[in-house]
Amino acid sequence: MSDPAAALDPAALRALAETSTAWPFEEARKIVARLKQHPKDEVLFETGYGPSGLPHIGTFGEVARTTMVRHAFRVLTDDRIKTRLIAFSDDMDGLRKVPDNIPNKELVAAHLGKPLTRVPDPFGTHPSFGEHNNARLRAFLDAFGFDYEFASSTEYYKSGRFDATLLAMLEHYDAVMEIILPTLGPERRATYSPFLPVDIRTGVVLQVPMVARDAKRGTVTYEHPETGERVTTAVTKGMVKCQWKADWAMRWTALGIDYEMAGKDLIDSVKLSGEICRVLGGRPPEGFTYELFLDDKGQKISKSKGNGLTIDEWLRYASPESLSLFMYREPKAAKRLYFDVIPRNVDEYAQFLDGYKRQDGKQRLTNPVWHIHAGTPPDTSVPISFTMLLNLVSASNAENAETLWGFIGRYWPGVTPQSHPRLQREVEYAIHYFRDFVLPAKRFREPTDGERAALMDLRDALSQLADDATAEAIQEVVYEVGRRPPFLDEKKKGKDGKPGVSLDWFNLLYQVLLGQEKGPRFGSFVAIYGLKNTVDMIDGALARSA
């Protein structure tokens, strides 16, 4: 591929990046400005993960988007400054409730309140529930080839990596309380402490007030909620963990995090954690507030509820690149994340990739595929859209890839699974999607008498076309049949000046012939599916409704 952007020397590429309107560059410029004020030899990016439920796509989205900003920063700085991305798991959090979408709920229910890494794995594959979900996350991030370092809250607390900052929080205990208490209700305020002791006997993370503290010794004292006895414990070596907002601030300070994104629902948490970070002697990271993902009903996606799409589900039906595109586009707009969005993202990814070849360097830096592929999009193409593949599967009820390749090879001689491996993957995706979503929802509408007559006219007109008729010629026949009552639309005019055709005509074709509400450009579909196959399909629809 001829690549003007790649051919640019680093200085020229940086010059384009410095004025690019693509949001990853806008974010990266914030980090560059930060370094001018406080120079560092290394920049740390972080993403957080709460492993209380099975990983969902929102978690991946944060890593993907942060990776895009990291790459943009490297371009802006000519890669002179070392960068690292830490994927941090809050696996020392106490499990508050049993997730809805796991097996062996009774097993997990017996361990409520314990750190996730002390809760048995209901799936029976790992030493703990936290480690099971951590492994799921890592496996997925590895499959995408992300460059990251996984970090476990449990490991970091117990190893002592947080000890110095925990002692600093103990020393500045009153200042931290002054930040948090005004944000709490009276009942919560009476029991709040930034430290949550881990009960030595039960392993439960306790939500109890502190009755004494000793900064010199590094200890806190609390009354045990069951026995009433006073217990003194160190704040180091994993004997306590911090409350959420204090924990975030402590981590930023201890690790020196420079950049971390957060969802819109955490705006207040980011603000409070930033204030605590400053009290601890740290500098809050640069940040980016993204909108939340919604399910098909418009409700926020929740790990514990299991609504919306899981990571594995998207990858069963579409490519990783299509998911990355979904994450790249409009990160500040709330987006519904459910199965119906998959085909559109697959096709739009292909369109962006195809358009990239014709763009200059400046335009390419605003093309999503440049950011998805870290500046080097692949030189591949797919001759057929994913939506068209779905309709071919739907029309033929294809149960195997060979059937689809028969249509594809007839229309595009020489196009094979070997010559187009990306298309081979999309054929498999289309079959999975059809079986799981299209087929169960198929409902063939019976045509009215007038519609039957129109379908018979279409059948006869298609029968008279040559086998090698172009998609345009077929589409013109479709229009000509549609320009008859009751589908003639005198108010609309075609590009050729002829009368328009009502959408009811095309809806008829989709609903009666394909058993679905929407469909492809019909002429293109028939050209690939075949005239004889289409005539047979019309005959079948007419026979069903006879």
DSSP-based three-state secondary structure for 210:
strand
Q: Is the CB of residue 131 less than 8 Å from the CB of residue 121?
A: yes
Q: Is the CB of residue 460 less than 8 Å from the CB of residue 484?
A: no
> How many CB atoms lie under 10 A from the CB of residue 116?
27
DSSP string across 352-365: HHHHHTT--HHHHT
Q: Kindly report the backbone phi and psi dihedral angles of residue 383, in degrees, each rounded to the nearest multiple of 5, phi listed first.
A: -75, -10
Cα separation of the two ends of the chain: 55
SS3 content of the chain, % helix, strand, coil (to 5): 50, 15, 35
Peptide bond into 486 cis (omega under 30): yes
CA angle 369, 371, 372 (to 5 degrees): 60
DSSP-based three-state secondary structure for 87:
strand
Determine how β-strand 335-336 pairs with β-strand 42-49.
unpaired
Please give the Cα distance from 539 to 456 (Å, whole number): 8
Helices (H) and strands (E) in the chain, counts: 26, 14
Q: Is the CB of residue 300 less than 8 Å from the CB of residue 292?
A: yes
DSSP-based three-state secondary structure for 199:
coil
| Annotated binding residue 97 | no
Please give the Cα distance from 99 to 108 (Å, whole number): 9
Please give the Cα distance from 224 to 211 (Å, whole number): 11
Angle between helices 244-255 and 173-180 (to 10 degrees): 130
**In whole angstroms, what separates CA 349 from the centre of its chain?**
14
Q: Is the CB of residue 74 less than 8 Å from the CB of residue 93?
A: no
**Residues linked to residue 468 through DSSP beta bridges, in sequence order:** none
DSSP state of 338: S
Nearest Cα to Cα of residue 137 among 151, 117, 116 = 151
DSSP string across 141-183: HHHTT---EEEEHHHHHHHTTTHHHHHHHHHTHHHHHHHHGGG
Cα–Cα distance list, 393 to 202, 235, 254, 480 (Å): 56, 61, 54, 27
**Residues linked to residue 501 through DSSP beta bridges, in sequence order:** 488
Q: Kindly report the backbone phi and psi dihedral angles of residue 446, in degrees, each rounded to the nearest multiple of 5, phi listed first.
A: -80, 135
Residue 19: partners with Cβ closer than 8 Å, 6 or more residues away: none
- In the annotated binding site for ATP, the residues are 303
Binding residues: 303
